[in-house]
Amino acid sequence: MGLAEQERKKDEKINGVVYAMSPAPGFKHGIINGNIYAIIKQGLKNSLCLAFIENLDFKYHPDENDDYLCPDIMVICDRKYLKGGAYSGIPKFVAETLSPSTAKRDRGEKKDIYEKAGVEEYWIVAPHGKSVEIYYLQDGRYILEQSYILQDDGEEEDYNADTEIRLRGFPHIKMKLSEIFEGID
């Protein structure tokens, strides 16, 4: 078996159904994830918490079955739930960047799964339209706390590129709206 066959294709398993994560999302997806991840990773220096980007399965109810998601960005603080390529605790933060093939799942099933699992903060980032929706868990339900559409034309009255967004669980980690979408034009 060659190296290519040994590498596991990226996929997710929801309610026993495996969803292939291919074709790969467009380059804008990767740039946005990299921008957010770099800022969060820097902010977690000297912390017990870790940030992961597109490379760790989240087993969201390991006591029931082996279903898993592969979040675009995930912050975890309880390392005892890390084993191999999977995490079975409760992430502190998850962000999903939409792509045409996953948008419906990211806004529907996956949002519901993260909510039920107890993920405190969930971001949905859309490359097309340059938008960010921020959900906070309150009384077991997600509440849309903030919603932004980047307006980076300084001549426009709705200019908001310098708006700072902070992670609720890590208020020292902040990023400008323009930094999230930097490099995708």
CATH top class, domain 30-180? alpha beta
The domain limits of the chain are 30-180
Neighbours of 106 (CB within 10 A): 22
Give the pTM.
Answer: 0.90
Mind listing the pLDDT tens digit for each residue in 119-164?
999 999 999 999 999 999 999 999 999 999 999 999 999 999 999 9
pLDDT confidence bin for 23, thresholds 50/70/90: low
DSSP labels for 11-48?
Answer: EEEETTEEEE--SPPPHHHHHHHHHHHHHHHHHTTTSS
pLDDT given for residue 8 in this prediction: 45
Among 25-29, 47-51, 76-80, the range scoring the smallest mean pLDDT is 25-29
- pLDDT of 11 > 70? The answer is yes
Mind listing the pLDDT tens digit for each residue in 82-123?
999 999 999 999 999 998 888 888 999 999 999 999 999 999
How far is residue 67's CA from residue 182's CA, in Å, rounded to a whole number?
34
Nearest residue to 136 via CA among 94, 82, 86: 94
